[in-house]
Amino acid sequence: MKVSEIYGKKQNKDCPSKKSLSFEIFPPKKDSELKNIDETLAVLCELEPDYISVTFGAGGSANCNRTIELAKRIKREYHVEPVVHLTCLHYNKAEIDEFANILTDAGLQNVLALRGDKNPNIAEKEDFRHASDLIAYMKAKWDFCFLGACYPECHPESDGRISDVKYLKTKVSAGAEVLLSQLFFDNKLFFRFQEDCRIADINTPIIPGIMPVINASQIRRMITMCGATFPVRFQKIIHKYEDNKEALFDAGMSYALSQIIDLLVNDIDGIHLYTMNNPLVARRICEGIRNII
Ligand code: FAD
């Protein structure tokens, strides 16, 4: 099933309050970790997400193969809809064609089309400069549902909110039907971004990405990588509990749950959970919103 159909159904008047719940996972780097991913998938799928997205490591066929293998298993063995992430900066049209053929043969229908991060160690190719180029190219040749990434606090390379939203509109016009957001810790910034999008006539579902924090180094790494604002209220929590693993887990889950509940009461279209392949995190969050989402 295409993810766009899931949102079509959710907007049905018969079930007006139902929001989507989706998870992000990453493929294991080593074969020895495959057993762990099985245990993770079993728990995640038991929680009945609407879809699970699988990340993609740019620059190498081994990375692509693991993403596709995992996506195929999610669909065949667990009967949950997978979304395959695909980056384009380091690939040419022939390589993307090959990838699209593999996805089609495997019955995989959903692609989160991404530019990918610039990496000085991997040569960029000329065919695609932006995610919108990838979507426009693939849409003309294949029948996928395309999702796109969006950034409530702007993409780190962007000139600011106006140009970021302008290029997001280009991505949607090229064919992105659902937008998944970068993680953020301050809901006000997400609501402002959503409003900017609606003013710019971007009317696709915009799904907030939430990352429950379970250790202090994880949050510091995330903030450095994506430039997310670290609200004072949250800084105090991390500072107070960073040396107590169990307390930080509880506090991190509570913070994420309070963010999610605030989003849900403000009429967002769904929640995308960055699980970090941790089934305990996903389970705890789902238990916290079982009667709410
Ligand atoms: P784009 O949409 O191309 O935007 C990149 C920059 O270019 C932005 O500053 C934008 O404003 C600007 N821009 C866009 N179009 C134009 C244009 N026509 N002209 C001029 N400027 C333009 N990375 C991975 O490697 N693997 C993953 O699996 C992965 N999954 C992700 C999932 C989500 C939900 C998110 C939010 C990000 C993910 N990323 C992943 C990271 C992503 O690849 C990076 O953030 C990357 O730097 C930008 O990708 P994009 O698709 O958003 O790029």
Atom 28 in ligand 1: residue holding the nearest Cα = 55
* pTM assigned to the model: 0.96
Which of 55, 155, 210 to mutate to test ligand 1, by most ligand atoms within 8 A of the CB atom?
155
Confidence (pLDDT) at 191:
98
Residue among 189, 129, 200, 138 nearest 164 (CA): 200
User: How is residue 285 written in tokens?
Assistant: 């969050």
User: How is residue 193 written in tokens?
Assistant: 């971004």
Tell me the C-alpha distance between 28 and 197, whole Å.
Answer: 35
User: Can you tell me which atom of ligand 1 is nearest the CA of 130?
Assistant: 3
Q: How far is C-alpha 151 from the geometric centre of its chain's CA atoms?
A: 11
Atom 14 in ligand 1: residue holding the nearest Cα = 167
Assess whether 69 carries a catalytic annotation.
Answer: no
Confidence (pLDDT) at 11:
64
Residues 6+ apart with CB under 8 A from 92: 125, 126, 127
Confidence (pLDDT) at 15:
56
Please identify which of the residues 5, 24, 98, 177 carries the catalytic annotation: 24
CB-defined site of ligand 1, < 6 Å: 55-56, 58, 85, 87, 114-117, 130-132, 149, 155, 157-158, 163-164, 167, 170-171, 180, 182, 209
Amino acid at 65: N
H or E segment to which residue 18 belongs:
none
State whether the Cα torsion 114-120-123-127 is positive or negative.
positive
Distance from the alpha carbon of residue 288 to the mean position of ligand 1, in angstroms: 31
Distance from the alpha carbon of residue 149 to the mean position of ligand 1, in angstroms: 6
Confidence (pLDDT) at 146:
98
Confidence (pLDDT) at 12:
59
Confidence (pLDDT) at 18:
78
- Average pLDDT by stretches of 10, the chain with 293 residues: 90 68 93 82 97 87 82 97 97 96 97 95 94 98 98 96 98 98 98 98 98 91 90 94 95 97 95 96 96 90
- The answer to whether 90 touches 123, Cβ cutoff 8 Å, is yes
Confidence (pLDDT) at 95:
95
Confidence (pLDDT) at 219:
87
- What are the residues facing 93 on neighbouring strands? none
Confidence (pLDDT) at 214:
92
